[in-house]
Amino acid sequence: MPHRILSDSGVSSHRRPILDSIDSPVDLRALPESQLPEVASELRGFLVECVSKTGGHLAAGLGVVELTIGLHYVFDTPRDRLVWDVGHQAYPHKILTGRRDRMCTLRQKDGVSGFPRRAESEYDAFGVGHSSTSISAALGMALAAKQRGERRTVIAIIGDGALGAGMAFEALNHAGSMDVDLVVILNDNEMSISPPVGAISNHLARLLSGKLYTTVREGSKTALRGMPQLRHLVGRWEEHMKGMLMPSTLFEELGFNYIGPVDGHDLDGLVRTLRNIKDMPGQRLLHIVTTKGRGFEPAEGQPVTYHGVTPFNRHTGELIKGKSKGPSYTQIFGGWLSDTAAQDERLVGITPAMCEGSGLTAFSKRFPERFFDVGIAEQHAVTLAAGMACEGLKPVVAIYSSFLQRAYDQLVHDVALQNLDVTFAVDRGGLVGPDGATHAGGFDLSFCRPIPNLIILAPSNENDCRRMLRTAFEYEGPAMVRYPRGTGPGVAIDASAPALPIGRGEVVRQGRRLALLAFGSLVAPALEAAAVFDATVADMRFVKPLDAALILELAESHEILVTLEENAIAGGAGSGVAELLSAHGRVIRCLHLGLPDTYIEHAEHAEQLASIGLDTAGVIASIRAELARSNWTDSPETPEPSRQQGVGV
């Protein structure tokens, strides 16, 4: 059956699409150039159709359809390398590189990843998921090719937002001094750099990338080599003439030959410019201007909403929402932040380009003068907060767990070492479902637990999340509240509830012989498993400082302790419990359950937990296996688990 394609105009076609004949870029390059606009229309429609069923990233991919086609049409991929920055715009690339028929499995268990992944395809030259890495990786590939005597072009595609990160400029600065075959494509989709693109700028871009200009430019360098003063004068004249017409000066100073800006949706002009650039020597930067969500009106009008979406009606754009399960932890944080800011004028909110994702939208509108979105600059965000704290403000840094990894030195050196009063609201702690390994927050407890002065809290429900945020904010020092993606178990929120006593856990179920010490999100499965074994359950609440008195009391009154956390076992909360017991000379059998020493691939969150034995059935199976090893006697009869679970040890 032919695909039912939604074109740019919304017109359906029932004839066999050209796209169905493209199983690799080799097939694309066999087409006459006149058919490329039709391929673009079909590709855009197919992309909308796929993502409407699976959910995923949409607006960014729609914006680079023409660019993706042009790159694979002009360059000899995969011999020539394409390095996508972040990678949420790479769906069209996946469709054209042999994964079209599997796009219906996007972000699902054992399906196509939502990001470029080297193990998935030879066309995915570099695995990504976080921003601003493309130029560094591409330069590394270009230098490797030169060292090995291999002729290939390496192309880095980076957005204007990602270009603002320090790492991107570090790479540009280094690349400009190297003699390599490197192309950087700046995808400007927010109009944040360039003026409007028109006929003149398009003409100039083609002119500046053409053979005549390149020949004259390179020839003049040779002819004037023995006349340094005149050569310098001609070079400065060229730079100033280009600087008056386009934003080229910065890139030229860094050593790049700048071309642009060009219309990234003019496929004919884009292909011609790419052909010219392909034949140019050295480092060159092509600046294109695109529109996020291009060709799908709902996404063009709301590119933030359609950046990452749930399944939707592809005809109307209406999002298909599941049954409401109450507020997410992100929403709880957003509500607390606004409420607290209204009561304390010292509070300021900081985020590294994740206003919507971190729940800061309402705060940013209500307190715009106290809201700081620093862009994709996690290191700067943390040290900015440190500077504010030095002057008596109380900054709250809203950041994803996996993004905090990028600011580790700043957390250690600039905040904790100086014992500054900064609150970290760390979202996406633990596994994150379809976003997969690149976005999972599986290491924060391990890398933050050794930091002096820092306290770490992990809520198990909605009300505790609110109370912990208050606790962290009122604490006069660095504090981190780490909460998972999604919703909690449905506990009602009491906005007036007081702060928690520092370092105190709570026994939430009293049992015998076996005690489960659960941290954060795993309190719920711990309670369900405890009912099977008549075990005690402690909601530990604090990862640092641990409730030493409670742990020692449970060790004294029970025979086996089980720790549970949605974090790497190595160095995590369970390790902290073992260290405490050892320091007090208490010998007791312990079972540590958590994330194993491997990356967990994309799937639904429940599927991920089940695959590593951290769902209820898996916890029960792990405990039963431990009891068998311990020659446990007088244990209650327990039902066999429905399936064999992996043990997270």
Active site residues: 292, 378, 406
| Length of the chain (residues) | 649
SS3 content of the chain, % helix, strand, coil (to 5): 45, 15, 40
CA–CA dist 102, 111 (Å, integer): 7
- What radius of gyration, in Å, describes the C-alpha atoms of the chain? 28
DSSP secondary structure code for residue 362 in this structure: H
CB 287 within 8 A of CB 259: yes
* Range 354-357, long-range pairs (CB < 8 A, 24+ positions): 354/398, 354/399, 354/400, 354/403, 356/304, 357/330, 357/400, 357/427
**C-alpha dihedral (531, 534, 535, 541), degrees to nearest 10:** 40
Helices assigned H by DSSP within 10-64? 25-29, 36-54, 59-63
Helix (H) or strand (E) holding 309: strand 308-309
Residue with tokens 């030259």: 125
**Residue 122: half-sphere exposure toward Cβ, Cα within 13 Å:** 7
Extract the tokens encoding 597: 């020493």
Q: Is 458 left (phi over 0), alpha (psi -120 to 50) or beta?
A: beta
CA–CA dist 258, 261 (Å, integer): 9
The three-state secondary structure class of 310 is: coil
Q: Is 463 exposed, middle or buried (0-12, 13-18, 19+ CB in 10 A)?
A: middle
Q: What angle do CA 325, 596, 489 make, to 5 degrees?
A: 15
**Residue 388: half-sphere exposure toward Cβ, Cα within 13 Å:** 22
